[in-house]
Amino acid sequence: MSADTPHTKLNEEKAREQLIDLAAEFYDQFEHGDIPEMTLPTRTKSNIVFDEEAGVWVYGDRTSTRSANSVRGARKLLKAVYAVEFLAQQLDEDRSSTLRELYYLSESWDSEEAQFTSQDESNQLIEDLEIVSGVTREDFHMRPEESGAKVMGPLRLREQTRRGDRDIHCQEDVGQGGYQIPNNPDTIEFLDNDAEFVLCVETGGMRDRLVENGFDVDYDSIVVHLGGQPARATRRLTKRLHDELDLPVVVFCDGDPWSYRIYGSVAYGSIKSAHLSEYLATPEAEYVGIRPQDIVDYDLPTDPLADSDVNALESELEDPRFQTDFWEEQIELQLDIGKKAEQQALAAQGLDFVTDTYLPERLEEMGVL
């Protein structure tokens, strides 16, 4: 692996210490004749609460316990012990692995009971270890299969490579595809920027339209392609751009309930990773569109809401992350008109409409421009 920054090195040392402490805790429980157990927050929508100080949604007080007093619980803890041993060795050897590789690696472990039955099971265990250790999987040198998305804009940064540090300008030194976000964006150092704001875009087609039309140049914007539900690396970089460079963040998605959840994961954090909300979420991020009101105002081409869309919208009305006047008004409107629209439906007004009219007017209305 490439050389680490002092910050990432400290995180890795903390990760190693926490893994050792966790293993020692299991050992002490055995030694004292106690039934080994691991307590975790209950990861459900009903157990997330708003942290006023941090401005993000985090897990509440309800917990569940993984205990060895049942065969099922004992298996889970056994798998945790084997995973902890593997991760500690990985850190000692300064190597990394993917979540998928961990799943397959478990087949070589000497206890059949410790082997994972599915990748979902191994993924969840890594999330459990993040929660109880207080460090991220990136500090364990665990990588996802999906990569971070791409960035285009007036930003110069320094990244670590196998051959040493490399300085990159995210317009001048990249092709039309932009700069590929690494799995651990904390290894990036921001050097300079001329940006006015960050625009996170859901779809590749819309991202390409903005770049082809020169939106990043004309409006000094950093365009971040989310690629659907954004990877953790994408959310982390977005948060760093906001927090460290003091740049406003706006999110541009399709006009459907699933895309609202994409915005929610950027701004509020996801239920699945609420333990990392302070690390990943950007609560100041604002939603540009597509809004249900846009469907009406611009007479956009639409598709009818499917039953699953209606159920998702009704669920969002009960989701504490969407219980604001803005979201309640927009969701109620969408349920009333029974329609949804894609970002690229704006092309019905012409290929340049999104960059010449829609985004400039909306961003000016929001006070970003």
List, as one string, the DSSP characters of 112-155.
Answer: GGGS-SSHHHHHHHHHHHHHHHTS-GGGGTEE-SSPP-EEESSE
104 an active-site residue? Answer: yes
The catalytic position among 59, 103, 104, 260 is: 104
Structure-block tokens of residue 320: 């504490």
Structure-block tokens of residue 295: 């469907």
Calpha distance 20→24 (Å, rounded): 6
CB of 285 closer than 8 Å to CB of 320? no
CB of 256 closer than 8 Å to CB of 233? no
Residues 6+ apart with CB under 8 A from 24: none
List, as one string, the DSSP characters of 60-72.
Answer: -S-EEEEETTSHH
What sign results for the dihedral spanned by CA atoms 116, 42, 89, 135? positive
Q: Which of 239, 268, 244, 225 is nearest to 58 (CA)?
A: 268
Side chain identity at 223, as an amino acid letter?
V
Calpha distance 276→131 (Å, rounded): 8
Q: Which of 138, 30, 134, 125 is nearest to 80 (CA)?
A: 125
Structure-block tokens of residue 124: 């969840």
CB of 136 closer than 8 Å to CB of 156? no
Catalytic sites, residue numbers: 104
